[in-house]
Structure 1
Amino acid sequence: MELGVNGLNAKAAIGPRATARLARLAEELGYRSWWAGEHVVLPSPRTPESPMAPTDPIVDPLVHLAYVAAVTTTIRLGTAVVILPQRNPVVLAKQAASLDVLSGGRLTLGVGAGYLEPEMTAVGVPMAGRGRRTDEYIDAMRALWTEEAPAYHGTFVSFAKVDAHPRPGGETVRAIPIVIGGHSPAAFRRAVLRGDGWFGNGDSPADLRRHLAGLAEAARLAARPPRLGRLEITWMQLGPLSAGQMEQYAELGVDRLVVYPLPLEDPDDVARFLERHAISRLLDHE
């Protein structure tokens, strides 16, 4: 089970020096992945469902990850998650492929369907149909990344007789791994049918057990395409982790366990958080 970190493009330590320091520290401590979330705008005044205050800063995840790529060498870069219906999939496919190439093939694209109506309205995307739009956008991006003559025709995106290079993977063309975020039946179904992996979060191993049951039910109702292989599980606990909890997550089959330093604001506090959890991971396997 690998260890990752999420959230450091928001609220805490978003300046260039702090970002470079913490990203390099995470890599030195053995963290294998660095994740960044997205909100283009936030409801103002804050609404009950909003995860952040409207004045909380959050750097665009792809811009943030491009910076992190430049100051690290091996740590995997992930979005957790891009709100896919709010993005133009043709443009996003180009941005993601560019970041993957510049980072040496380190990008994982985490996507979700979104849930904040004020944000989607501001971007000009209706809430209705966002699930179907998400599915189409995933398929369209994979076509642009992998097909010899890319083409896709759907309700929300349609193109043919175009091409886009560079392709992810350089000479060995491949699709960028896509992980699906969310805890709804629709998200579980999307992960089974279209995701290389699933990204979830919660407060405890008990939360993960409940969501794994939802994924299992989705897999029972819809056959996973063989080309996707095994569904990888990435899990983020909202709050500090103990060594005992890490062991429980490993027993539950988690591939990547992601820590979440927020709401810490001081880079020194975040650094201590990363060091403490890395040590707990080592102690757990002595």
Structure 2
Amino acid sequence: MHFGLRYLNTGRNVWSDKAVSMAQAAEEAGFESIWTVDHVVVPKGYKSKYPYAPSGRMGDGNEDMQYPDPLIYMAYLASVTTTIRLATGILIIPQRNPIVAAKQIATLDQLSGGRIDLGIGVGWLEEEFKAIGIPFVGRGKRTDEHIAAMRALWKNEFAEYHGDFVDFGPIFCRPQPKNGSIPIIVGGHSKAAAKRAGRIGDGFFPARGIPHDLFEIVRATAIENNRDPKEIEFTVSVPEDLNDIPELEKIGVKRILIPSSPMGGTSKWASTPDEVLALKDMIQKYASN
């Protein structure tokens, strides 16, 4: 079992020396990864329902929160760490130009020594899409095309892609990722997200809870698409009872994420370097060799 620390680019440790201390403590404690979250803007008075809290509001209703750009933030953390992986959890991919994003992510992967995981999602905050001029309707199809185009840019000597939302002729996009591509972890709480993970994902991250029904959809969809479902890693939030971790391993969970600040749905978090370091024994107990 691997352990990750989320979401370091929000909360009270978001800036400078505090972020460095948290990241280095996570590396020392044996965390496998640090995760970031993505919102370009949060529209004041938004009406969209946040799907991961009973209140329907993220950040306990606080709209004016710090959300540094996750890719720039990960580049900063890469410069002060050596082994810990850096992940988005998630990057709202239909809001990004796929060519620009592919170049940014590949550059970051090269500079970090191949330590990048790309968690992606379609987004839920309709008002955010409107504010930045991206259609909310059709974002699922847009996401699929963006992923396909980015992978073509990462893997091929030169790439071209022709779709409904992405269309470019033969081009070179350099650098490419250090290890040939970037692992893509599909985030989301819906059947559509689970099916997307089964079709094209290297992993699946449902953000909250242990949704056995969605895991089964991932596996079934993988088989339908001639993929080995065992190759798709499941990432989940830390369970209330740590004794459940061996059972999670049995159902294919490979990574558990621990919040770096209080979040709805869990009473466990590590919000200071000392609290992060205090988890070292627990990580050693359950971590993969």
- Please state if 1:122 is matched with 2:131: yes
* Bigger mean CA deviation after superposition, 250-259 or 10-19: 250-259
8 Å CA contact 2:43, 2:131 repeated in 1: no
Consecutive unaligned residues in structure 1, runs of 5 or more = none
8 Å CA contact 1:242, 1:280 repeated in 2: no
Using structure 1 for the length normalisation, give the TM-score. 0.88
| In structure 1, C-alpha distance between the alignment counterparts of 2:245 and 2:259, rounded to whole Å | 14
SS at match of 1:161: strand
Q: Which residue of 1 aligns with 2:213?
A: 210
8 Å CA contact 1:27, 1:75 repeated in 2: yes
8 Å CA contact 2:236, 2:255 repeated in 1: yes
- Please state if 1:195 is matched with 2:197: no
SS at match of 1:160: strand
Query: Could you tell me which of 87, 92, 100 is aligned with 2:96?
Result: 87
| In structure 2, C-alpha distance between the alignment counterparts of 1:192 and 1:103, rounded to whole Å | 28
- Amino-acid identity (%): 38
- CA shift for structure 1 position 253: 2.0
| In structure 1, C-alpha distance between the alignment counterparts of 2:176 and 2:193, rounded to whole Å | 27
Paired amino acid for 2:243: G
CA gap of 1:245–1:278, structure 2 versus 1, over 3 A, is farther
| Number of aligned positions between the proteins | 273
Q: Which residue of 2 aligns with 1:12?
A: 12
- CA shift for structure 1 position 284: 5.2
- CA shift for structure 1 position 269: 4.1
Paired amino acid for 1:44: K
8 Å CA contact 2:28, 2:277 repeated in 1: no
Flag the structure with more relative contact order, 1 or 2, with Cα contacts below 8 A and sequence separation at least 6.
Answer: 2
Q: Which residue of 2 aligns with 1:243?
A: 242
Q: Which residue of 1 aligns with 2:261?
A: 262
Using structure 2 for the length normalisation, give the TM-score. 0.87
- CA shift for structure 1 position 124: 1.0
Q: Which residue of 1 aligns with 2:53?
A: none
SS at match of 2:145: helix
SS at match of 2:159: coil
- CA shift for structure 1 position 268: 8.6
- CA shift for structure 1 position 257: 1.1
Paired amino acid for 1:273: E
CA gap of 1:13–1:248, structure 2 versus 1, over 3 A, is same
CA gap of 1:163–1:212, structure 2 versus 1, over 3 A, is same
Paired amino acid for 2:237: M
Encode CA deviations 1:46-76: one digit per residue, 9 max, x unaligned.
5442423221111111011001100000001
Query: Could you tell me which of 157, 160, 164 is aligned with 2:169?
Result: 160
| In structure 2, C-alpha distance between the alignment counterparts of 1:200 and 1:242, rounded to whole Å | 19
Quote the RMSD (CA, aligned, Å): 2.2
8 Å CA contact 1:241, 1:277 repeated in 2: no
8 Å CA contact 1:261, 1:273 repeated in 2: no
Q: Summarize the alignment of residues 46-125 of structure 1 with structure 2, pairs less than 5 Å apart.
A: 46-47=46-47, 48-49=49-50, 50-52=57-59, 53-125=62-134
Q: Which residue of 1 aligns with 2:251?
A: 252
